Amino acid sequence: MRVGILTGGGDCPGLNAVIRAVAKSLIHQLGAEVLGVEQGFLGLIERRVRPLDLRAVAGIVAAGGTILGTHNRADPFVYFGAGGRDVSDAVLAYVRELGLDALVVIGGDGSMDIAHRISLKGVPVVGCPKTIDNDLAHTDRCFGFDTAVAIVTDALDRLQTTGQSHGRVMILETMGRYAGWIALEAGLASGADIILIPEIPYRLDEVLRICREREGRQRFTVIAVAEGAKPQGGTLTVHERIEASPDPIRLGGVGNVLREQLQPQLGCEVRTTILGHVQRGGSPTPFDRVLATRYGHAAAQLIAQRRFNRMVVLRGTALDSVPLADVAGRNRGVPADDPLLQAARDTGVSLGI
């Protein structure tokens, strides 16, 4: 058996642990030959693969990023390098030329959408859910999310000490796109006073009320705001647009907008920190290493069972799988009845409403 592995979309802690688990499981269990596709789907377009033997995947479980490289704009169905033309037939021909019996795609909703469309052309595909945003449909946890939450929590802890020392409002803007999971979990973990997420548009007057109340009592306020958060009746804060990308909108800057709105109406200083790509870099947490290893092993099991065109998912503590069609291009935000939201409210955290 010959199997290809690629990592699509943005980099994420735990990618190498998945690559290692898939390759080692397939080699040990099936005696398979494993090929790594370089730079995601771009490697299939530009015909670039390399062998992944036991030596190639040794010692990478703790490494951040991806040894294969990735690319978040290489959609074979709308390829930017060919003026937006569909080059998927050429990709299919290359897959057949390589003699691949299966392709493992490790990525987020965009990668799963491409994987699903490729599977419809006859390529046997197995998906692994990857995103620090934790926003893929049908899975409770994506690897990389725990690491991002740990990094953001540490930053919020540090901002609290300087905010407390100077009597400031400290705003931290997190990643997450249109989902508030990172801001919510890190905000709860660090004891943030206000948590603003995309799923609950906030009222500026309520945020001001909390800041003024704390200004007269604790003297400082810590705000965790997701990049996709927006005020009631307002719009998303867009940092830039990249039209050649499958997801052209790049969010960012809501923390600065909020600071500009709060500062004229408060007596204390208001400061904003935007962590940006710090959240997705570096070594994965032990939790993410284990979860990524479980996902990689489960993907190999699906291949061994010849159960293709499915993505591995986590439900509670058990692994399962769902059809790629059910997750392609779909997001999972924080539901209105999520227990974490109730825990936040009951412990006095303001959600800006």
pLDDT (tens digit per residue) in 204-250:
999 999 999 998 888 999 999 999 999 999 998 887 777 666 667 78
Residue 139: per-residue pLDDT: 96
Q: Which domains does the chain have, with CATH numbers?
A: 2-143+284-327 (3.40.50.450), 149-280 (3.40.50.460)
Q: Is the pLDDT of residue 127 over 90?
A: yes
The catalytic residue positions are: 133
323 confidence band (pLDDT: 50, 70, 90): very high
Query: Under a CB-based contact definition with an 8 Å cutoff, are residues 253 and 228 in contact?
Result: no
Query: Under a CB-based contact definition with an 8 Å cutoff, are residues 348 and 213 in contact?
Result: no
Residue 80: per-residue pLDDT: 84
Q: Are strands 49-51 and 33-37 parallel, antiparallel or unpaired?
A: antiparallel
d(CA 273, CA 152): 11
Q: Is the pLDDT of residue 197 over 90?
A: yes
What average pLDDT does this structure show over 325-349? 95
Q: Which residue has the higher pLDDT, 301 or 80?
A: 301
For residue 201, give the amino acid letter.
P
Q: Is the pLDDT of residue 73 over 90?
A: no
The lowest-confidence range among 146-160, 173-187, 229-243, 338-352 is: 229-243
What average pLDDT does this structure show over 262-271? 95
Q: Is the pLDDT of residue 251 over 90?
A: no
Residue 246: per-residue pLDDT: 61
Residue 216: per-residue pLDDT: 85
Q: Is the pLDDT of residue 196 over 90?
A: yes
Query: Under a CB-based contact definition with an 8 Å cutoff, are residues 277 and 7 in contact?
Result: no
What average pLDDT does this structure show over 257-268? 95
pLDDT digits (tens, 9 = 90+) for 100-119: 999 999 999 999 999 999 99
Q: Find tokens 């299919």 and name the residue.
A: 92
122-151 as b/e: b if 16+ CB within 10 A: ebbbbbbbbbbbbbbbbbebbbbbbbbbbb
Q: Is the pLDDT of residue 40 over 80?
A: yes
Residue 244: per-residue pLDDT: 61
What is the CB neighbour count within 10 angstroms for residue 256?
A: 14
d(CA 309, CA 47): 22
d(CA 125, CA 54): 22
What average pLDDT does this structure show over 185-214? 97
Residue 207: per-residue pLDDT: 97
Percent of the residues in the chain that have a pLDDT greater than 90, as a whole number: 89
Ramachandran angles phi, psi of 3, nearest 5°:
-130, 135
What average pLDDT does this structure show over 189-195? 98
Residue 131: per-residue pLDDT: 93
For residue 179, give the amino acid letter.
A
What average pLDDT does this structure show over 169-195? 97
Query: Under a CB-based contact definition with an 8 Å cutoff, are residues 255 and 173 in contact?
Result: yes
| Sign of the alpha-carbon torsion through 299, 301, 306, 312 | negative
Q: What is the longest distance spanned by two Cα atoms in the chain?
A: 70
Query: Residues near 34 by Cβ (< 8 Å), separated by ≥ 6?
Result: 2, 3, 4, 5, 22, 23, 26, 27, 51, 52, 53
Q: Is the pLDDT of residue 348 over 80?
A: yes
Reported in sequence order, the residue ranges of 44-88 that DSSP labels E, i.e. its strands, are 49-51
Query: Under a CB-based contact definition with an 8 Å cutoff, are residues 67 and 30 in contact?
Result: no
Listed residue (3, 4, 6) closest to 32, CA to CA: 3
